[in-house]
Each structure stands twice: as structure tokens, then as C-alpha cells.
Amino acid sequence: MTTPRLGTKIKALRRREAITQAELARRLGISASYLNLIENNKRPLTATLLIQIAQQFDVDLGAFANDDDARLVGELMEVLSDPLFDGHRLKGPDVREFVDAAPTAARAMRTLYRQFRESSQTTRDLAEQVTEGQDLSPRPSNRLPPEEVSDLIQANRNFFGTLEDAAEKLRLDANLDETNLVYHDLVDYLHDKLGVEVIQLPTHVERAAVRRYDPKRHTLTLSALLDPSGANFQLAHQIGLLEASEQIDAIIAAGHLTSPQSVALARVALGNYFAGAVMMPYAPLLAEAEAVGYDVEIISRKFHTSFEQVCHRLTCLRKPGAEGVAFHFIRVDIAGNISKRFSASGVPFARFSGACPRWALFLAFHTPGIIRTQLSEMPNGQRYFCLTRTVNKTRGGFRARPTLQAVCIGCRAEDAHRLVYAEHLDLTSAPTIPIGVTCRLCERTQCSDRAFPSLTAPLNVDENVRGLNLYAGG
């Protein structure tokens, strides 16, 4: 039996093709009344019938997957956590029904809210400019390019087969070692195949950039501050921008990005993807990860890469038929700003407000350099297993202030048995840490870390009683 709540998807497909319920039932060899019950989610849908329906509408079975819809539900719930909607008291079931019945309208509502936030921010910016006597010339849209690029990566499940193939071709053409890139091999390839001269500048000459390519002079300068894995990564990145530009352009064209800044940032992200694929080729990486229980530090030593590079690359193991663990990945700074995110596990990330402080990701700053693990549970009952560690990005020298960030990868609890980090846990009975997406969406009103009132419960403040938090009551 397949996942319930597929009936509304079938109804939407039927209506899109202007087919009557009676006609579709005839084609499927079932009664119209039974199809009516299926479309209203009152009868289960067998796998055989699901395949027949997919064939009738000439769609892939993936069209019935609920990952995208679940993510859309989570984003709309976060949208509705805005105090603007407090009077409507919309609940999770209302939003899920809306997404099931009209996913296109639900996406339009999400877009409308984004535009509303941008307009509101623009108004505030203009007010500040008037107050401070600044120039009132128009400012660009507040729709941030990183958001668009994150959506592009998420839509492709962080797997780009054409870039994997291009990276593999480079490895063969340059005769690169499977697990250890040699700096001079990449330098020679750039010089002999692409006509690019690589120059390494001393630290006192180049501090503003770690990599700088001059397309007119065909020179690539690297800073001496780069460590070996960083230098190899930047060399592979530049080769990707030059040799895999056609593949990168095709991916970007299909992503419908709205600004030159988004396109430029997407090229950087896809160049980074190519570099990761060169440094950690897909098949050897998957084999090693499975063999060592996804031990990030062992994989790092095997491929001579950094902790963060491995974490990021592990999320790319989504090749159909050869998939690794479905990881989510997130990186934050000490102020809680999210600079990278991707979710193959289904865990929802906050897009319009602050994240939950109970995530182990934020606790990593208490113990720099040490891996921490967490078995957590969301309000809907879904459990996740995560591992996190800080990464210290130094720019070299006494005067260069290091940047401390935390990275986290995690998966659904039912997949955690494949990880060495969870081998000491009884995943069926081990206690979990209750977490949420944001305070506004979390139903746990008695949480001691609550910063805002919950959308799911009425605000009931008693001035004579101080609960676990300001909004908990007595």
C-alpha cells in the first residue's frame, strides 16, 4: 500500500487533462465510485493502480513523491507564523489540505509572502534613509541570491549528474589519483590543456582573495595562505568553470534565476560542486563511506580533504540506484546566521525566522573542535540523528581573525544505524531531545528556551505567575 493522501494529486492530474472521473475509472478498470473515494483519500491506493495512473498521465512515479509537498507545507506553516495571520488560526491540517488540493496556489502564496516581506523591508529602509538624510535612489530587490541558489540546489536534490560525468572525465584525462589529488597534476592540466598559468603569490602580496582568475591574461593566482586541500579545491573549481561551463549554464538555465547576482552565485556553487566531485569521486566515496560508517574524519584522511568538504560532499550521494544516506546539511556562524543549507532527510529549516536553539548545531560552539551528536524529535513525531562540529577558518597570520562556524549533517533516525556515530544507541528506545523549526511553529509551550509565543496556542500571560518561559503561564 502506498502513502496516503495521494488522492488529491490524482484529482489534480485528471482535471489538468480535462478527463472526467467516469472516463478515468473506465481506463483503470475500476468503478467511478471507487475512484471518487481514492481522490478524496478515503480508500488506499495500491502500487499496481498507482503505476497504471502514472502511465495514463505519462508522468514519472516521482511525481507522486511527497517530499516537495512536505517541504512546501513546512514553509507555508512558517509563513503563517507571522503575526499578520494570528486572527485566522490556521492549523497544520488546513495547510496540508491546501497544498494537496492546490500546490500551485500554495507556491503562489509563498511567493506573495516573500514579496510582502521584501516590500516591507524596502519601506523600512526608505524610512531610515529619510530619517538619516540619505540618498533615496532605488535599491535592488531584497530577494537574496543565496535563497534562489539554495532553492536550485534543493530542487535538484543536490545531485548534478552532468557535473559528476565532467569531473570523472577530468580525472581520466589528467590521470588523477583516485583518492589523492596532486597539486602539480592540476597545475599541469591547467597549463597544458587550458593554457592557464598558475601563480602562487606570497601572503604579503595577496590577502584580498584566495583565488583570482584573469580571463584576458589566462592567469590564475592562488594565495599562499591556502592549505593543500584548499589549493586543490580552488584549482579544480577553476577547471570546472572553464571546462564544464556548458553543463553549468544548462543547469542554471533550467533553474529560472531572476538576477545576474543569482546566476553568478549559482556558477560559484556549481563550480564548488564540480571541485568536490573531482576531489571525492562518487563511486569511491560511496564505497568508503559505507565501509567506515560515514566516519567523516576517516573519509577526510582518505581523500585528503577537510571536515566540511566531506560533510558537504556526503549530501551529494543521491544518484538514482546508487544512493548513500539521505543527509541534511546546515552551516551557521556563532550569531545563528545560516550560510548553507540542504535537506535530503526532510528536516525543515527556518526560512523567515530564527531557528530552534535546542539543535546540537548551536551547542557545538560550547565545545569547539569536538564532534557532538543528537537524537532529536520534531513536534510531528519525526526523529532525526545529527552530528555537528565547529570548523575554524583561518586566513593566516597573527592579525587575521579566524572565523568560527559550525556544520551539521543528519538523517532520519531510521537510517542512523548506518552511521558509526550512532552505533552505541538503541535507536528505538533512546531518549530524544525535543526540537522544532521555530518557536512560532513549535507546539511545546512549556519549553524553557521559548523566545516567542506559539502560533498553535493562545497567548495566555498571567502577571502573577512566571512559568518556564514568559509565555508558558502557570
325-434 CATH, one of 3.40.50, 2.60.120, 3.30.450, 1.10.3470: 3.30.450
Match 540618498 to its residue by C-alpha cell.
Answer: 135
- The answer to whether 205 touches 398, Cβ cutoff 8 Å, is no
d(C-alpha 280, C-alpha 296), whole Å: 13
Q: Alpha helices, DSSP H only, in 174-227? A: 183-194
- The answer to whether 471 touches 453, Cβ cutoff 8 Å, is yes
> Which residue ranges does the chain devote to CATH 3.30.450?
325-434
Task: Give the pLDDT confidence score for residue 139 in this predicted structure.
Answer: 46
Q: Whole-model pTM?
A: 0.73
Task: State the average pLDDT over residues 373-394.
Answer: 91
What does pLDDT average to over the chain? 84
d(C-alpha 448, C-alpha 470), whole Å: 9
Q: How many Cβ atoms from other residues are within 10 Å of residue 394's Cβ? A: 12
340-350 burial code (b ≥16 CB/10 A, e <16): bbbbbbbbbbb
* Residue 133 binned pLDDT confidence (cut-offs 50, 70, 90): low
Dihedral sign computed on CA atoms, order 426, 427, 429, 431: positive
Check residues 288 and 259 and name the one with the higher pLDDT: 288
* Beta strands per DSSP E along 193-272: 197-201, 211-214, 219-223
C-alpha dist (Å) from residue 469 to 44, 142, 317, 338: 44, 34, 41, 25
d(C-alpha 189, C-alpha 235), whole Å: 10
User: Half-sphere exposure of residue 365, counting CA atoms within 13 Å on the CB side?
Assistant: 15
Task: Give the pLDDT confidence score for residue 145 in this predicted structure.
Answer: 84
Q: What is the DSSP string of 121-186?
A: HHHHHHHHHHHHT--------S--HHHHHHHHHHHTTT--HHHHHHHHHHHHHTT--SS---HHHH
For residue 3, is pLDDT > 50? no
Task: State the average pLDDT over residues 397-419.
Answer: 88
